[in-house]
């Protein structure tokens, strides 16, 4: 049978719709964008910007028109991404294998990347900006680790935590304070920081875990803010808004990465001094920490406790009727997530060598949570990809000069970074509400060949 011939886009309704959208855009932007407040001699004065307003309204008009004519009425579709969408049993099994293989390849690439860069630069004379690349990768990996840590709480146990950064802060300040007052080394403080963060997770979690869903979210947010305010004001211990500086870097089996000193890395190995060695060492530390987080999570999923977490996410009432102690289960998820947050925090302190309450604002929690949700809750690979896209992509934006060619020399991409970040969160969520990798791996299966569960069938916890 002939497919019914689709009526081609009708121009007049599209034009009317676009005009309405442009009119709305004019209403929205006429005052806040069309006029700028400038500090004058006697208070604020106004400076109209009609051209900018016209440009923005014009963009909305043309964009909406184009969407109407060419997008919403299109008769072609995107090719499907692998391991997403509706999957039959067979394709599900394949998708599961795909995820595993892609994960291994990514881990392999991440493992050799800095050494490869070093070899390329030193042996083959390539001129890669290695220090910058490695610093960026360290940043991305920190967020991968945080995302994986939070994934235990949000993705596995289904508890919405908006104050995860509090545990990150506890870890960072534990190391910062111990290192600067007692001179303890990174390797001594790392487990302590994790344990202390987990301890705080239990303390904070104990009273609030009776709450469900959004209430839990808002209370965790409140606790995150409380910890930040305390850090900001307890000047004797935390240095207040000035923070803690001169935190030592982690040593390589006792060797320092300083330019001069008694026991430096480059002297011991007879190498010329290069700051990149220190960065590479930091890179491997965070790489190992992230990997540990991942392996522990994957193993925990198969233990009774992990299964209890996932059962809790799916249905709390059923869990309780089956005799699972929900409070204890929730608390263990909270504490495990906090533990990894604490590890990441103490690494962050060691890497920055300076910490202040400014690094632990709510926006950090929001970024980590958005990484987890955008990646696909419960999916380790998705979280890693989301971290690379969100953090790497936006850091890269900071250094792009090509944008200045488009928007003129005065264009400063750093100003627009968070604006794009927020809009991208909305856009990705609307585009793929289930996250980038939406399939889920069942932790217990009846048959050997049972594969991933499609995102369409996955339910989410009510906290």
Binding site for other proteins (CB under 8 A): 24, 27-28, 30-33, 35-37, 39, 43-46, 154, 160, 207-208, 210-211, 213-215, 217-219, 221-223, 225-226, 229-230, 232-233, 317, 362-363, 366, 369-370, 373-374, 377, 415-416, 418-419, 421-426, 429-430, 433-434, 459-460, 462
Cα separation of the two ends of the chain: 50
Angle formed by the axes of helices 130-151 and 380-387, nearest 10°: 140
Closest approach, Cβ 415 to other proteins, in A, equals 6
Q: Facing residues of 47 across strands?
A: 36
- 301's tokens: 């999923």
The nearer residue to other proteins, 168 or 343, going by C-beta atoms, is 168
The nearer residue to other proteins, 39 or 401, going by C-beta atoms, is 39
> Cβ-count burial of 17 within 10 angstroms (0-12 exposed, 13-18 middle, 19+ buried)?
middle
The nearer residue to other proteins, 40 or 261, going by C-beta atoms, is 40
Closest approach, Cβ 209 to other proteins, in A, equals 10
Closest approach, Cβ 133 to other proteins, in A, equals 27
Instruction: Cite the beta strand spans of 167-284 per DSSP E.
Output: 244-245
Closest approach, Cβ 270 to other proteins, in A, equals 49
- 215's tokens: 């209430």
The nearer residue to other proteins, 143 or 186, going by C-beta atoms, is 143
Closest approach, Cβ 81 to other proteins, in A, equals 18
- 327's tokens: 């409070």
Closest approach, Cβ 125 to other proteins, in A, equals 42
Q: How far is CA 252 from CA 141, 267, 268, 425, in A?
A: 20, 13, 11, 39
Closest approach, Cβ 80 to other proteins, in A, equals 19
Closest approach, Cβ 387 to other proteins, in A, equals 15
**What b/e sequence results for 216-226 when a residue is b if at least 16 CB atoms lie within 10 Å of its CB, and e otherwise?**
bbebbbebbbe
Closest approach, Cβ 46 to other proteins, in A, equals 5
Closest CA relative to residue 360, chosen from 234, 245, 230, 235: 230
> Could you tell me the sign of the dihedral formed by the alpha carbons of 397, 399, 402, 408, in that order?
positive
The nearer residue to other proteins, 90 or 363, going by C-beta atoms, is 363
**217 and 162 Cβ atoms separated by less than 8 Å:** yes
Task: Find where tokens 């910058």 sit.
Answer: 132
Closest approach, Cβ 109 to other proteins, in A, equals 29
The nearer residue to other proteins, 94 or 212, going by C-beta atoms, is 212
The nearer residue to other proteins, 131 or 211, going by C-beta atoms, is 211
The nearer residue to other proteins, 193 or 458, going by C-beta atoms, is 458
Q: Strands 43-48, 354-355: parallel, antiparallel or unpaired by DSSP? A: unpaired
Cα–Cα–Cα angle for 138, 378, 382, rounded to 5 degrees = 50
The nearer residue to other proteins, 85 or 103, going by C-beta atoms, is 85
**129 and 356 Cβ atoms separated by less than 8 Å:** no
Q: Facing residues of 94 across strands?
A: none
How many Å is the Cα radius of gyration of the chain? Answer: 25
The nearer residue to other proteins, 54 or 112, going by C-beta atoms, is 54
Closest approach, Cβ 160 to other proteins, in A, equals 7
**107 and 293 Cβ atoms separated by less than 8 Å:** no
Cα–Cα–Cα angle for 374, 457, 153, rounded to 5 degrees = 45
The nearer residue to other proteins, 163 or 171, going by C-beta atoms, is 163
**380 and 298 Cβ atoms separated by less than 8 Å:** yes
Long-range contacts of 399-407 (CB under 8 A, 24+ apart): none
Task: Find where tokens 């001094």 sit.
Answer: 273
């Amino acid at each position: 049978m002939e497919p019914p011939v689709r009526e081609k886009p009708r121009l007049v309704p599209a034009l009317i719709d676009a005009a309405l959208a442009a009119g709305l855009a004019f209403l929205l932007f006429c005052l806040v964008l069309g006029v700028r407040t400038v500090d004058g001699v006697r208070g604020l004065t106004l400076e109209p910007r009609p051209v900018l307003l016209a440009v923005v309204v014009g963009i909305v008009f043309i964009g909406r028109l184009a969407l109407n004519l060419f997008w919403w009425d299109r008769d072609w579709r995107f090719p499907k991404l692998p391991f997403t969408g509706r999957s039959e049993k067979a394709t599900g099994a394949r998708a599961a294998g795909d995820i595993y293989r892609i994960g291994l390849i990514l881990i392999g690439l991440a493992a050799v990347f800095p050494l490869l860069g070093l070899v390329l630069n030193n042996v083959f004379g390539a001129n890669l900006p290695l220090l910058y690349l490695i610093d960026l990768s360290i940043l991305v990996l920190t967020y991968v680790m945080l995302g994986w840590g939070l994934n235990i709480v949000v993705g596995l146990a289904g508890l919405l935590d908006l104050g995860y950064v509090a545990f990150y802060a506890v870890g960072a300040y534990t190391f910062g304070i111990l290192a600067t007052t007692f001179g303890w080394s990174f390797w001594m403080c790392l487990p302590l920081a994790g344990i202390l963060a987990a301890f705080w997770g239990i303390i904070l979690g104990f009273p609030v875990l009776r709450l469900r869903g959004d209430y839990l979210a808002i209370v965790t947010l409140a606790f995150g803010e409380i910890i930040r305010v305390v850090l900001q004001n307890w000047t004797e211990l935390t240095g207040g808004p000035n923070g803690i500086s001169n935190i030592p870097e982690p040593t390589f089996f006792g060797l320092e990465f300083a330019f001069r000193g008694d026991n430096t890395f480059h002297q011991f190995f007879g190498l010329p001094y290069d700051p990149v060695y220190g960065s590479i060492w930091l890179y491997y530390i965070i790489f190992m920490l992230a990997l540990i987080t991942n392996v522990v999570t994957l193993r925990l999923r198969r233990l009774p406790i992990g299964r209890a977490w996932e059962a809790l996410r799916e249905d709390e009432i059923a869990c309780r009727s089956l005799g699972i102690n929900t409070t204890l289960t929730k608390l263990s998820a909270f504490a495990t997530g906090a533990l990894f947050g604490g590890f990441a925090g103490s690494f962050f302190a060691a890497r920055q060598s300076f910490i202040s309450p400014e690094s632990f604002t709510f926006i950090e929690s929001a970024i980590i949570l958005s990484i987890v949700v955008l990646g696909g809750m419960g999916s380790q690979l998705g979280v890693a990809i989301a971290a690379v896209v969100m953090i790497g992509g936006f850091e890269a934006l900071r250094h792009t000069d090509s944008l200045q060619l488009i928007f003129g020399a005065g264009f400063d991409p750093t100003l627009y970074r968070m604006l794009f970040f927020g809009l991208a969160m909305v856009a990705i969520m609307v585009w793929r509400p289930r996250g980038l990798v939406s399939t889920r791996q069942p932790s217990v299966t009846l048959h050997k060949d049972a594969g991933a569960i499609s995102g369409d069938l996955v339910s989410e916890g009510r906290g």
